[in-house]
Amino acid sequence: MLSQQNKETAINREYNIVKHNDLIQKSRYNLSTQEQKIILYLVSKIKPDDTEFHLYEFQITEFCKVCGIETSGRTYSTLKDTVLDLVNKAFWVEVGGIDVTMRWIDRSYIDRKSGTIKIKLDELMKPYLLELQKHFTVYNLYFTLAMKSKYSLRIYELLKSYQNMGQCEFEIERLKKMLFAEKYESFKDFRVKVIEIAIKEINDFSDIFVTYKFKKQGRKVHTIIFNMKLKTELSERMDTYSKIENRLSPKQKQKGEDSFLPISEEKPKREGVLVYDSSSERWDICFALNDNLGGLDCDTSFEVLVNNEWKQTRLSTNENGYYLVGLFKLGSNISLYGQKVRI
């Protein structure tokens, strides 16, 4: 039998996300998995009869439980850094043929003593989240919580917005742009590192089952066609539920799973330096001559040596370029190149 606290967690996981289709289909944003989950959690707090955005308040520990995130002494500071990143990140929405910049968050308050966080969404978001009567998409927060790829979350939301049609298609280059995945220049890299991972997670952890195929224009793959159907069989839904619960249970966490907190490694960390690979236009870690990590994504956690102390961080980016979350901000005149790191 569930305790009262676990009942509240289960209830919070079942809230719906409701967004206008334009916010899903006509937007471009580059958010990490953690940042997307904060936004989704906030949107799930909006009530159907809300006419204004409130200062939404929740316990940090409850948010971590809902999202299956382990807590430690660094939870407060890591969440604070992530919220700050969100405040500083603008994104594009097409409005009447014009690209308009918007922000997710207007302001936030984090109280260390009470362990609470208060966040107010930006006023420009009201037409996309409040009093929606038509052209909107509804899905359950629960089906996003076990996903660890930022592309899985974004593609799932896109597919849900077209679910009633049963099929949708995108030009490969347009989809890359929507996902901020232009760094995967070769079709093979995009297929393997974005599409295949995302569809596997969607099929494993969501309420829909997706298949896809590619269409060529000449010799080049030009379009991807998605087919999706709702999981209606009881066995399908029970299997999905089991996979989600195993992923969200701290005892079942696997190495590499998305979390705000570093997951303990069985292997010793490798030390190297940050380098920029101009050929792939990505930051990388060089361990030795001809021995590189192979590229750093913004979701990848690692440690950097600051004043003889290892600090947990990850890469992030905004309109000005890359920086290390919680450490070296843009404008600090500190170059990322050559910084000693380990992973």
Mean pLDDT score, 134-155: 95
User: Does position 82 have pLDDT exceeding 60, yes or no?
Assistant: yes
Q: What percent of the chain has pLDDT over 70?
A: 88
Give the pLDDT of residue 101.
93
Phi then psi dihedrals of residue 15, to 5 deg: -70, 150
Give the pLDDT of residue 257.
41
User: Does position 146 have pLDDT exceeding 60, yes or no?
Assistant: yes
Q: What DSSP letter does each residue of 6-65 carry, written as one string?
A: HHHHHHHHTPEEEEEHHHHHSEE----HHHHHHHHHHHHT--TT--S---EEEEHHHHHH
Domains along the chain with CATH numbers: 1-144 (1.10.10.10), 146-230 (1.10.10.10), 271-342 (2.40.10.390)
Mean pLDDT score, 36-41: 93
Give the pLDDT of residue 158.
97
Residue type, 217: Q
Mean pLDDT score, 239-258: 68
Query: Quick one: tokens of 208?
Result: 């829909």
Give the pLDDT of residue 254.
44
Task: Specify the pTM.
Answer: 0.71
| Tens of pLDDT, residues 315-331 | 877 666 777 877 654 44
Distance, CA of 217 to CA of 201 (rounded, Å): 29
| Tens of pLDDT, residues 196-219 | 999 999 999 999 999 999 999 998
Query: Quick one: tokens of 175?
Result: 């989809």
- Quick one: residue 252, left, alpha or beta (phi over 0 = left, psi -120 to 50 = alpha)? alpha
Mean pLDDT score, 53-82: 81
Give the pLDDT of residue 262.
36
Query: Quick one: tokens of 248?
Result: 């969200």
Q: Residue 299 burial (CB < 10 Å; 0-12/13-18/19+)? A: middle
User: Does position 4 have pLDDT exceeding 80, yes or no?
Assistant: no
Give the chain's length. 343
Distance, CA of 19 to CA of 26 (rounded, Å): 12
Q: Residue 8 burial (CB < 10 Å; 0-12/13-18/19+)? A: middle
Give the pLDDT of residue 267.
55
Give the pLDDT of residue 258.
41
Distance, CA of 61 to CA of 108 (rounded, Å): 17
What is the C-alpha radius of gyration for the chain, rounded to an integer number of angstroms? 20
Q: Are residues 285 and 302 in contact, defined by beta-carbon separation less than 8 angstroms?
A: yes
Residue type, 249: S
**Residue whose C-alpha is closest to residue 93's, from 127, 42, 140:** 127
Confidence of residue 229 (pLDDT cuts 50, 70, 90): very high
Give the pLDDT of residue 136.
96
293 against 213, higher pLDDT? 213
Quote the mean pLDDT of the chain: 85
Angle separating helix axes 60-67 and 33-44, nearest 10 degrees: 110
Confidence of residue 309 (pLDDT cuts 50, 70, 90): confident
